[in-house]
């Protein structure tokens, strides 16, 4: 019985040690999929109607697929900016570490810097997306004539019975995509 208690205590201690080490693991920079997912969540939160119009019925997954390549370049740009900020001297590296590390004091300064750069880029994307949705709503107007002119300009695939489920079958989505350069409906 005493051996069982000792073995159980040892297992519990090792589990606690493993979980605390995992929690203290330095933050790494986001990968393309994580960054694209973060952008897509940001865009969906900015305007649900515009998001659905651009990315269609597949919504979040279509967005992640479309934005993954762009996310890679955003991460690379943020990492390059952080490398320049970090510098080469001990003094500049210490200042960088002090500015970007978490409150836990871990070695996560570079990951935090890159994540911050990605978040800043996504804030800009969200703003561009919101503005494009507003512009397209204004351009579409409220009258049947203005809607017809809008669809004529941006096109629809109403001849196809599944037009609303296909990328490119939505004039509003095409309008928003054209204004922000998103790859959802090209």
In a domain, 155, yes or no: yes
Taking the C-alpha atoms of residue 174 and residue 182, their distance in angstroms, rounded to an integer, is: 10
Residues 6 or more apart in contact with residue 184 via CB below 8 angstroms: 54, 55, 56, 62, 63, 66, 167, 173, 177
In a domain, 11, yes or no: no
Q: According to the model, what pLDDT value does residue 105 have?
A: 64
| DSSP 8-state assignment for residue 33 | H
Contact of 109 with 97, CB cutoff 8 Å: yes
Q: According to the model, what pLDDT value does residue 103 have?
A: 65
Taking the C-alpha atoms of residue 105 and residue 100, their distance in angstroms, rounded to an integer, is: 10
In a domain, 103, yes or no: yes
Closest CA to 136 of 164, 176, 186, 170: 176
- To which H or E segment does residue 1 belong? none
In a domain, 69, yes or no: yes
Contact of 72 with 115, CB cutoff 8 Å: no
Taking the C-alpha atoms of residue 30 and residue 47, their distance in angstroms, rounded to an integer, is: 24
In a domain, 125, yes or no: yes
Provide the residue range defining the domain that includes 148.
26-180
Number of domains in the chain: 1
In a domain, 163, yes or no: yes
pLDDT average per 10 residues of sequence, the chain (186 residues): 40 39 50 82 81 78 82 88 90 86 73 87 86 90 87 73 54 85 50
Give the 3-state secondary structure of residue 104.
coil
In a domain, 39, yes or no: yes
pTM, full prediction: 0.63
In a domain, 46, yes or no: yes
């Amino acid at each position: 019985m005493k051996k069982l208690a000792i073995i159980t205590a040892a297992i519990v201690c090792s589990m606690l040690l493993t979980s605390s080490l995992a929690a203290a693991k330095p933050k790494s920079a986001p990968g393309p999929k994580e960054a694209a997912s973060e952008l897509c969540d940001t865009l969906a939160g900015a305007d649900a109607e515009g998001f659905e119009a651009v990315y269609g019925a597949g919504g979040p997954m279509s967005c992640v697929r479309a934005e993954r390549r762009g996310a890679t370049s955003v991460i690379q740009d943020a990492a390059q900016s952080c490398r320049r900020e970090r510098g080469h001297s001990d003094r500049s590296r210490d200042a960088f570490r002090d500015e970007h590390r978490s409150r836990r004091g871990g070695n996560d300064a570079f990951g935090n810097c890159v994540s911050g750069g990605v978040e800043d880029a996504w804030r800009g994307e969200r703003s561009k997306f919101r503005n494009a949705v507003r512009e397209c709503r204004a351009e579409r107007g409220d009258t049947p004539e203005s809607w017809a002119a809008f669809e004529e300009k941006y096109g629809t695939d109403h001849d196809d019975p599944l037009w609303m489920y296909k990328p490119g079958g939505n004039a509003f989505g095409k309008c928003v995509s054209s204004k922000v350069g998103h790859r959802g409906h090209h």
